[in-house]
Structure 1
Amino acid sequence: MKPKNVLILMSDEHTRGAAGCYGHDIVRTPNLDRLAARGARFDTAYTPCPVCVPARAAFATGKYIHQIGTWDNATAFDGSLPSWHRLLRERGHQTVSIGKLHFRSTEDDNGFADERLSMHIVEAKGDLLGLIRDEDTVKRGGSRKMAQMAGPGESMYTRYDRDITSDAITWLHEEAPKHRGKPWVMFVSWVAPHFPLTAPSQHFYHYYNQDLPEPKLYHLRDKPIHPYVDDYRGIFAYDEYFDTPDAVKRALAGYFGLVSFMDEQVGLVLDALGKAGLQDDTHVVYTSDHGDNLGARGAWGKSLMYEESVGVPLMVAGPGIPAGTVVKTPASILDLYPFIMEGVGARDSETVPDDVPGTSVRALIDGAEADRAAFSEYHGMGSRKAAFMIRKGDWKLVHYIDYPDQLFNLAEDPDEVNDRAEEPGCAAIREALMQELLKICDPAAVDREARAHQARKIVENGGKEPIIARGDLGFSVPPGVEPSFS
């Protein structure tokens, strides 16, 4: 692959199915649809962890969460580990970040040659409350903020995203021409469609003024589903404040509206890339850090191993990428790490060492490793013990520590209703997927390591009482905005 620039576009909390190119009947995403049409779309791509801070640390380093120890939203990337941006900067490539990073702090050297408008975890501490995973009394207010803030208008996030888009357009026109000697990498990272579910009015009302189906399997919201999921829903009380059908509809319209708003930002940046004369010299990637449950089974937000939360959109376009390609091979956003390195002509044993687990998306487009497995793990807020996911072919295993496993055939059961983990006829499949998991890690040992780390951090921050007194952050804030705890 001839070295080219790489433009990475990342949203936050965009569930894979919420886009026209992924078959959604309602959500309008014309710019993502066009990007997918002129390149490759991955139909089974996953996050390495369905929550922001760990997923973004994994994306930066190209490694699994358990390899780098960024377990939760209070343990962020601090620039000390090798990252694609630091290694490329050291080799003379211009690496620029514009927007949300969700690393520890701007005080750290995060590895970019140019870091702009960066958003990091609050107070370099992040979500300390999420470290406390063993008490029923630590309830989270996620659904209250989701329900009460869903509606039309502008939020701190939509205003921030507009600034990110403006700066990205300016960089393409003003700065990119200064770096023609070596391929550059620009990482543009928006917050939408992450809650609060406040969407610009024109986008909100486009969805609110039509009939919207209720969330998937919403009739199960008051019924036991699985012990792990029931415990998670109890801690977050995620459906408690959605007490009317209109509250649910406003949340859906807000989320769909934010997806369309984000798609609008994508279009503006892609238009600028073309007008700057850079399209033919640039590979473009679009993905998200994780998905969103979007009310399915009465869960909102992320953190679960169902497809809505752990699945992400992924598309790649540019020189040499065959148009209209659909890739069925399970993929991960970690597969972007080796692609970035080879894309700019910097792939070798130092930049992509043996312990980097990803396979370049370019190789996957060409048909490599069709029988591979995709992996995700979770050790954060709302969970008592770890959860691990393996997807291979049509089958998906979710392995929990101290909870029953789940097994789904996603070809026959895309809604993940029929758990087949205890079916005698599926024992061999379950065991084969468990062996795939064991090739990657020792789940019980990883869980112990994560919880020991979190116990130490609780002590370092004064113990449980001051952490609980600090309150529930809800979400991080853009530069210049004061955080609000509740």
Structure 2
Amino acid sequence: MKPHIVWISCDQLRADWLGIGGHPVVMTPHIDELAYEGVRFQAAMSECPTCVPARRIMMTGRNPYGVNMNKNRESQPFSEGPKLAELLARAGYQTFAAGKLHTSPKRNRIGFEEVQLNEEGRVDHIGWKDDYERFLDDNGWSHVRYTHGLGNNQYGARIDPLPERLTSTHWTAQKAMEFIERRDPTRPFFLHLSFDKPHPPLTPPQSYYDLYRDAVMPEPVVGEWTESKLPSRVRFMRLRHNYEQWREHPLMVQQTLKGYAALITHIDSMIGVFLGTLREHKLLDDTLIVFTSDHGDNLFDHGTFAKGDFFRGSASIPFIVRPPRPRGEADRFARGKTDRESPVALMDVMPTLLDACGIPIPESVSGTSLLPLLGREATGTFRPYTCGVCGTVYAVSDGATKYIWYSEDDLEFLFDVREDPNDCRDLAGDSAYREALETQRGRLLAWLEEHGDPHAAAGRLQPIAYDWRLDEAHATTSWNNRGRH
């Protein structure tokens, strides 16, 4: 019998902000339980850590070159070719998505038979509304949705002006539960539950913020290299987000971190309610569940913000696969296992789900099925490394070391991700790591040459100048959650 499939995704959730991810304060019991019942891939990386390309990678199984995008380009039409929901629908699955898709045009269902959409206020034209905003209209609350006053990429925390039952997190989970209750019982289903949080604005409900009101959040980390080797992009992000002011107001930093934690726990609670719905309908044991995020958030680490690079906060993502529980036969799947080495990436979502359903994986897919790694006795070998690119920043990870190249500055970084998971000690100049540095650089060079990237020329990495216009950069609210086309 084909398994049911539930793929839960968050927006801008970093891997180490889960209980199971080692955070000493954040409470995520339901997400942790998924990890206890399956396999958690600790070395997972977003190979293009920003919203639009990351989601296209997940939906197509292609790398950044395959989706022809290495930074946010919201108006670029969605890639042609086989897509995850499309293939599952052809194989007889009832397909449904609730929450954020971030496609172009906005109502492109990318193969889903039905979508309940939340695009965070982005519009295609005047008068266009997503399903969540129409829901708020129907309940008489759309006029207060943005009265928290925070921009869509702005830091700081405010209490959500909406009642908890009307928040996007609650609405998204509610739509998923409604689907379960009215699904076609004669078909297997594929449900994509896509939360738009904890992406800023950090506006948790009052009750969830109160959970952390008296907590002391761990301070952001600062790498040794920040005093002498600061990339231009990091300088730009500091100016864009007014870093000097944040440094003078540590209480505001604490409030921001508490707001982020509260949004995560709110998501976790709604996941718990959703899992209860599966259990009540006797579907939980027959369902394969994947939990991911499109990318993370630097959250002041190293004095930088948001995403778009390959430091831990931005690029390290939760990736949990909880297999179904077989009935009447021996359980061949691992439970409570942590894979610390496999350099898993977002392009592996699609081939894993197709493989679990017995559907052939298209040749266009760059990723690899994780199914062989889910057994009690894992068989086969995973790819030795994963490469990534986001704008001017490139990276290679093999699960042991991570190499980052800022191409415009020709700055190389090497981190031992096992001994130094927070990227605080740059080893690029350490003679003891020279072989590792050269190996990772060579892997990146080969990847760029394979895809015709102009940053590879004459057998060497080729820097290309980029003007960040630092003399003109200034703090901004990055407002785009009202009337953004």
Q: Give the TM-score, by structure 1 length.
A: 0.81
Post-superposition offset of 1:115:
1.6
Aligned to 1:382: none
Q: Quick one: distance in 2 between partners of 1:377 and 1:156?
A: 39
Q: Secondary structure at the match of 1:287?
A: strand
Whether contact under 8 Å (1:3, 1:342) holds in the other structure is no
Q: Quick one: distance in 1 between partners of 2:264 and 2:161?
A: 14
Post-superposition offset of 1:432:
1.2
Aligned to 1:413: 420
Letter in 2 for 1:171: F
**Compared with structure 1, are the counterparts of its residues 248 and 274 closer, same or farther at alpha carbon in structure 2 (3 Å cutoff)?**
same
Letter in 2 for 1:88: L
Letter in 1 for 2:386: A
- Partner deviation per Cα, 1:242-262 (whole Å, 9 max, x = no partner): 241211111011001111111
Q: Secondary structure at the match of 1:151?
A: coil
1:372 aligns with 2:384: yes
- Identify which range, 41-50 or 201-210, moves more after superposition: 201-210
Q: Quick one: distance in 2 between partners of 1:371 and 1:64?
A: 14
Q: Quick one: distance in 2 between partners of 1:257 and 1:20?
A: 13
Post-superposition offset of 1:391:
0.8
Over the matched positions of the two proteins, sequence identity in percent amounts to 25
Whether contact under 8 Å (1:106, 1:120) holds in the other structure is no
Q: Secondary structure at the match of 1:9?
A: strand
Aligned to 1:388: 394
Q: Quick one: distance in 1 between partners of 2:351 and 2:427?
A: 35
- Partner deviation per Cα, 1:299-349 (whole Å, 9 max, x = no partner): 221112101110000111132532111112221121111111122221x2x
Letter in 2 for 1:322: A
Q: Quick one: distance in 1 between partners of 2:163 and 2:311?
A: 29
Whether contact under 8 Å (1:401, 1:444) holds in the other structure is no
- Identify which range, 197-206 or 29-38, moves more after superposition: 197-206
Post-superposition offset of 1:282:
0.8
- Partner deviation per Cα, 1:174-223 (whole Å, 9 max, x = no partner): 11xx1434x321101001111111111122122231222321229998x4
Q: Secondary structure at the match of 1:163?
A: helix
2:437 aligns with one of 430, 433, 436: 430
Whether contact under 8 Å (1:238, 1:300) holds in the other structure is no
Aligned to 2:14: 15
Aligned to 1:359: 368
Listed as ranges, the matches of 1:38-77 within 5 Å are 38-75=37-74, 76=76
- Identify which range, 396-405 or 258-267, moves more after superposition: 396-405
Whether contact under 8 Å (1:11, 1:289) holds in the other structure is yes
Aligned to 1:314: 319
- Partner deviation per Cα, 1:227-253 (whole Å, 9 max, x = no partner): 244333245235244241211111011
2:258 aligns with one of 253, 262, 275: 253
2:411 aligns with one of 404, 408, 428: 404
Q: Quick one: distance in 1 between partners of 2:48 and 2:214?
A: 35
1:334 aligns with 2:336: no
Letter in 2 for 1:399: W
> How many residue pairs were aligned?
431
Aligned to 1:227: 231
**Compared with structure 1, are the counterparts of its residues 204 and 59 closer, same or farther at alpha carbon in structure 2 (3 Å cutoff)?**
same
**Compared with structure 1, are the counterparts of its residues 284 and 50 closer, same or farther at alpha carbon in structure 2 (3 Å cutoff)?**
same
Whether contact under 8 Å (1:8, 1:186) holds in the other structure is yes
Aligned to 1:180: 186
Q: Quick one: distance in 1 between partners of 2:16 and 2:411?
A: 27
Aligned to 1:236: 240
Whether contact under 8 Å (2:38, 2:335) holds in the other structure is yes
Q: Secondary structure at the match of 1:112?
A: coil
**Compared with structure 1, are the counterparts of its residues 24 and 298 closer, same or farther at alpha carbon in structure 2 (3 Å cutoff)?**
same
**Compared with structure 1, are the counterparts of its residues 441 and 367 closer, same or farther at alpha carbon in structure 2 (3 Å cutoff)?**
farther
Whether contact under 8 Å (1:374, 1:390) holds in the other structure is yes
Aligned to 1:215: 220
Post-superposition offset of 1:363:
1.9
**Compared with structure 1, are the counterparts of its residues 173 and 53 closer, same or farther at alpha carbon in structure 2 (3 Å cutoff)?**
same
**Compared with structure 1, are the counterparts of its residues 144 and 98 closer, same or farther at alpha carbon in structure 2 (3 Å cutoff)?**
closer
Q: Quick one: distance in 1 between partners of 2:70 and 2:124?
A: 15
Aligned to 1:35: 34
Q: Quick one: distance in 2 between partners of 1:303 and 1:313?
A: 17
Whether contact under 8 Å (1:40, 1:317) holds in the other structure is yes
1:146 aligns with 2:154: yes
Q: For structure 1, which runs of at least 5 residues remain unmatched after alignment?
A: 126-140, 380-385, 450-467
Q: Quick one: distance in 2 between partners of 1:42 and 1:28?
A: 20
Post-superposition offset of 1:273:
1.0
Q: CA RMSD in A?
A: 3.1
**Compared with structure 1, are the counterparts of its residues 431 and 256 closer, same or farther at alpha carbon in structure 2 (3 Å cutoff)?**
same
- Partner deviation per Cα, 1:338-370 (whole Å, 9 max, x = no partner): 111122221x2xx421x4221112223325325
Q: Quick one: distance in 1 between partners of 2:110 and 2:415?
A: 39
Q: Quick one: distance in 1 between partners of 2:476 and 2:299?
A: 21
Q: Secondary structure at the match of 2:49?
A: coil
**Compared with structure 1, are the counterparts of its residues 239 and 179 closer, same or farther at alpha carbon in structure 2 (3 Å cutoff)?**
farther
Q: Quick one: distance in 2 between partners of 1:435 and 1:218?
A: 25
**Compared with structure 1, are the counterparts of its residues 300 and 166 closer, same or farther at alpha carbon in structure 2 (3 Å cutoff)?**
same
Q: Secondary structure at the match of 1:152?
A: coil
- Partner deviation per Cα, 1:392-413 (whole Å, 9 max, x = no partner): 1411111222321111112222
Aligned to 2:134: none
Whether contact under 8 Å (1:94, 1:179) holds in the other structure is no
1:119 aligns with 2:119: yes
Letter in 1 for 2:334: P
Letter in 1 for 2:231: P
Q: For structure 2, which runs of at least 5 residues remain unmatched after alignment?
A: 126-148, 325-331, 457-471
Letter in 2 for 1:99: G
Structure with the bigger percentage of helix? 1
Post-superposition offset of 1:117:
2.0
1:280 aligns with one of 282, 285, 299: 285
Q: Quick one: distance in 1 between partners of 2:249 and 2:452?
A: 43
Listed as ranges, the matches of 1:160-199 within 5 Å are 160-175=168-183, 178-181=184-187, 183-199=188-204
Whether contact under 8 Å (2:394, 2:404) holds in the other structure is yes
Q: Secondary structure at the match of 2:434?
A: helix
